[in-house]
Structure 1
Amino acid sequence: MIDAGISRIECERAVLGPPFFFFTGRSADRKDLLQPPASQLVWVVSRGLAQVVPRHRLHDRPWWSPAFVFLVMLLAMGNAALAAQTAPVADLGPPMRFMIVRSDASGCEPTCPEWISAQGTIGHDTPALFKRMLKTLGARKLPIVVTSPGGSVDAALILGRMIRQNKLDIGVGKTRFSGCLPVDENCKPNDGKGARYFGTAYVYGAFCNSACPLMLAGGIRRFVGEWAYLGVHQITTTFTRTKLQYRTTYRVVSGRKKILSTKIVSRKNAGSYKTYEMSKVEEKKLAAYLKEMGVGQLVLETMKDTPASSIHRLAPQDMLQMTLVTSPDSVDRLTWASVCKDNPVPANCREVPVSAQKAPQPANVVAAEAKPAATAPAEPVAIHKVDGAEMRFVLVRGKNLLCDPDCPEWISAEGTITTQTPDKLRQLLDTIGGRRLPVVLNSPGGDLPGAMAAGRLIRERKLDVAVARTDFIGCGPEKAGCVAEGGAYVGLTNDELGECDAACPILLAGGVRRLVGPRAGLGVQSLGMEEKVGAYLEDMAVGPGLFAAIRLNSSQRVLDPSTALRIGLTTGSQSADELTGASICKSKPEPENCSVVSATKLQAATPAKS
Structure 2
Amino acid sequence: MIRLKSPDLRGWVLLGAAALCIALPGAVTTLGNSAHAGAALEERKLPMKFSWVACQPDCRGWVSAVGVVTADSPKDFEDFARGRELNGATVVLDSSGGSVNDSIILGRHFRNLGMLTTVGISVQRGAPGERTSVMPEAYCESMCVFLLLSGKARYVPEAAHVRVHQIWMGDRADDPKAASYTAQDLMIVERDIGRLARYTFDMGGAGELLSLALSVPPWEDLHELSRAELQRTNLATTELVADVLPHTGITAVPMAELAPKAQDRVDAKASEAPTQVAKSTRTAEAVVPTGGRAATPSQ
Displacement of 1:140: 4.5
The 1:302/1:125 distance shift into structure 2, 3 A limit, reads: same
Q: Distance in 1 between matches of 2:180 and 2:84?
A: 39
1:96 is the counterpart of 2:48: yes
Deviations 1:225-265 (A, max 9, x none): 3211100001111358xxxxxxxxxxxxxxxxxxxxxxxxx
Match of 2:148 in 1: 216
Q: Secondary structure at the match of 1:280?
A: helix
Could you tell me which of 217, 222, 225 is aligned with 1:307?
217
Match of 1:229 in 2: 161
Match of 1:570 in 2: none
Q: Distance in 1 between matches of 2:190 and 2:50?
A: 34
Displacement of 1:169: 0.6
1:82, 1:154 within 8 Å by CA — same for their partners in 2? no
Displacement of 1:198: 6.0
Q: Distance in 1 between matches of 2:160 and 2:86?
A: 30
Match of 1:477 in 2: none
Q: Secondary structure at the match of 1:337?
A: coil
Q: Distance in 2 between matches of 1:274 and 1:128?
A: 33
The aligned amino acid for 1:282 is: D
The aligned amino acid for 2:215 is: D
Q: Secondary structure at the match of 1:236?
A: coil
Q: Distance in 2 between matches of 1:235 and 1:200?
A: 33
Match of 1:142 in 2: 89
Q: Secondary structure at the match of 2:64?
A: strand
Q: Secondary structure at the match of 2:134?
A: strand
Match of 1:365 in 2: none
Deviations 1:32-86 (A, max 9, x none): xxxxxxxxxxxxxxxxxxxxxxxxxxxxxxxxxxxxxxxxxxxxxxxxx333345
2:117, 2:155 within 8 Å by CA — same for their partners in 1? yes
Could you tell me which of 233, 237, 242 is aligned with 1:322?
233
Q: Secondary structure at the match of 1:83?
A: coil
1:103, 1:337 within 8 Å by CA — same for their partners in 2? no
The 1:144/1:336 distance shift into structure 2, 3 A limit, reads: same
The 1:134/1:284 distance shift into structure 2, 3 A limit, reads: same
Q: Distance in 2 between matches of 1:103 and 1:274?
A: 51
Q: Secondary structure at the match of 2:195?
A: helix
Displacement of 1:384: 4.8
Displacement of 1:141: 3.4
Which structure exhibits the higher relative contact order, with contacts defined as CA atoms closer than 8 Å and separated by 6 or more residues? Answer: 2
Could you tell me which of 59, 82, 89 is aligned with 2:2?
82
**Number of residues of Structure 1 aligned to a counterpart in Structure 2:** 220
Identity over aligned pairs, percent: 24
Displacement of 1:324: 1.6
Displacement of 1:274: 7.0
Aligned ranges for residues 48-447 of structure 1 at < 5 Å?
81-85=1-5, 86-87=9-10, 93-103=45-55, 109=57, 111-138=58-85, 140-179=87-126, 189-190=127-128, 199-204=132-137, 206-238=138-170, 273=179, 279-309=189-219, 310-330=221-241, 333-338=243-248, 384-385=251-252
Q: Secondary structure at the match of 2:212?
A: helix
Q: Distance in 2 between matches of 1:384 and 1:140?
A: 24
2:153, 2:244 within 8 Å by CA — same for their partners in 1? no
Q: Distance in 1 between matches of 2:238 and 2:86?
A: 26
Q: Secondary structure at the match of 2:102?
A: helix
The 1:556/1:324 distance shift into structure 2, 3 A limit, reads: closer
Q: Which has the higher strand share?
A: 1
Q: Secondary structure at the match of 1:130?
A: helix
1:298, 1:322 within 8 Å by CA — same for their partners in 2? yes
Deviations 1:276-326 (A, max 9, x none): 989432322221111111111111111111122310000122111111221
The aligned amino acid for 2:134 is: A
TM-score (norm 1): 0.33
2:11, 2:96 within 8 Å by CA — same for their partners in 1? no
Match of 1:551 in 2: none
Q: Distance in 2 between matches of 1:174 and 1:88?
A: 18
The aligned amino acid for 2:217 is: P
Displacement of 1:168: 0.6
Q: Secondary structure at the match of 1:234?
A: coil
Q: Distance in 2 between matches of 1:211 and 1:299?
A: 12
Query: Which 5+ residue runs of structure 2 have no aligned equivalent?
Result: 13-17, 19-41, 173-177, 263-299
Aligned ranges for residues 504-543 of structure 1 at < 5 Å?
526=256
1:225, 1:329 within 8 Å by CA — same for their partners in 2? no
2:168, 2:189 within 8 Å by CA — same for their partners in 1? no
Displacement of 1:329: 3.4
1:83, 1:235 within 8 Å by CA — same for their partners in 2? yes
1:115, 1:145 within 8 Å by CA — same for their partners in 2? yes
Q: Distance in 2 between matches of 1:170 and 1:82?
A: 23
Q: Distance in 2 between matches of 1:159 and 1:198?
A: 29
Match of 2:294 in 1: none
Q: Secondary structure at the match of 1:231?
A: strand
The 1:150/1:312 distance shift into structure 2, 3 A limit, reads: same
Deviations 1:518-567 (A, max 9, x none): xxxxxxx747xxxxxxxxxxxxxxxxxxxxxxxxxx71549xxxxxxxxx
Match of 1:494 in 2: none
- Mean Cα displacement is larger for which, 272-281 or 212-221? 272-281
Q: Secondary structure at the match of 2:97?
A: coil
Match of 2:37 in 1: none
TM-score (norm 2): 0.64
Deviations 1:392-412 (A, max 9, x none): xxxxxxxxxxxxxxxxxxxxx
- What is the RMSD of the two structures over their aligned residues, measured on CA atoms? 3.2
Displacement of 1:336: 4.7
